[in-house]
Amino acid sequence: MVLKILYDEFPDLKIIATGSSSFELSNLVNEPLTGRKIVYQLYPLTHRELTAGKSTIKSMREINRILRFGSYPSVILKEDAMALENLNEIASSYLFKDILEYHHLKKPNLLSKLLKLLSFQIGGEVSYTELANKLRVDQTVIQRYIQLLEDGFIIFRLKALKRNLRNEIGKSRKIYFWDLGIRNMIIQNTNSLDLRNDDGALWENFCIAEREKFLNYNQPRTISSYFWRTYNQKEIDLIEQTGDNYTAIEFKWKEGKQFKVPMDFNNAYPNTTFKTITTENFTSEIYSK
């Protein structure tokens, strides 16, 4: 109400209202500020913001740190020891204060277990039925908790593309984390990349999150994002659709065999551009319109 009065009484005044709690802020401003506000979503820092003016070697080193610690400013701008301490504080206070306390959730242990399961499944398809069975709750509870995590900018979902083929999977989804530091704290693993076996999944999550940040910041969302898979295990990491045109993208952390476009997809979606994104071409491809 104070912001509403200021806006009405001082029309030349420009006000920036920020809050670390997206739940509390969004619920308080919606009704009184209708027609008086523009809402901006501010994500953790992008790789491009962190590496402006830096050499290629330093830029690559920053990618490695982001895959471990994420990119919240109070984390990624610190040395490793302090970064880890600050990350632990953010993970515990943000997740449990904002989500558990604000929504009065009665099952804090369920949220912890759900987050851990989701953390181990980045890059893979997520089944609500499977999650519900493992946690011994109803599917509606899983769906509600996932929606809260998405509303709190902890995770985001990627839907499956289904347009032309009978054997395309259409009702599945993948879940990624906006910040990999949060994800790694949940599973208590911030080890360097040479000591872990999930570097490929971290790279995929990182690239897709960076792409989503770029699209949300730089243009109206005329591009729709999906993943693609068939029942016989043919898949593509990311599909971007603009009108009748598609871009199919694979993410490769390590050098290996060249990505081969599935013939089924090629035949069903002829207006498609194909890309493979590696550490070598990451900057030019992720931050391009």
> For residue range 32-50, what is the model confidence (pLDDT) as tens digits?
788 888 888 889 999 999 9
Q: Are residues 99 and 115 in the same domain?
A: yes
Q: Are residues 30 and 63 in the same domain?
A: no
160 vs 17, 148, 253, CA distance in Å? 36, 21, 23
Return the ∠ at Cα 196 (arms to 190 and 201), rounded to 5°: 90
Q: Are residues 80 and 170 in the same domain?
A: yes
Element (H, E) at 125: strand 125-126
pLDDT at 6: 92
Q: Are residues 23 and 102 in the same domain?
A: no
Whole-prediction pTM value? 0.90
Number of domains in the chain: 2
Residues of the chain predicted below pLDDT 70: 19-31, 94-106, 164, 219-220, 256-257
From the CB of residue 158, how many other CB atoms can be counted at a distance below 10 Å? 20
Q: Are residues 106 and 20 in the same domain?
A: no
pLDDT at 196: 93
Q: Are residues 124 and 209 in the same domain?
A: yes
CATH of the domain at 227: 1.10.10.10
SS3 of residue 84 by DSSP: helix
Element (H, E) at 173: strand 173-177
Q: Are residues 115 and 36 in the same domain?
A: no
Are the C-beta atoms of 69 and 87 separated by less than 8 Å?
Answer: yes
Q: Are residues 240 and 105 in the same domain?
A: yes
Q: Are residues 25 and 87 in the same domain?
A: no
Q: Are residues 197 and 143 in the same domain?
A: yes
Domain extent at residue 71: 47-286
Q: Are residues 127 and 31 in the same domain?
A: no
SS3 of residue 76 by DSSP: helix
Q: Are residues 7 and 95 in the same domain?
A: no
- For the stretch 178-216, pLDDT in tens is 999 999 999 999 999 999 999 999 999 999 999 999 999
Rounded Cα gap, residues 282 and 183, in angstroms: 22
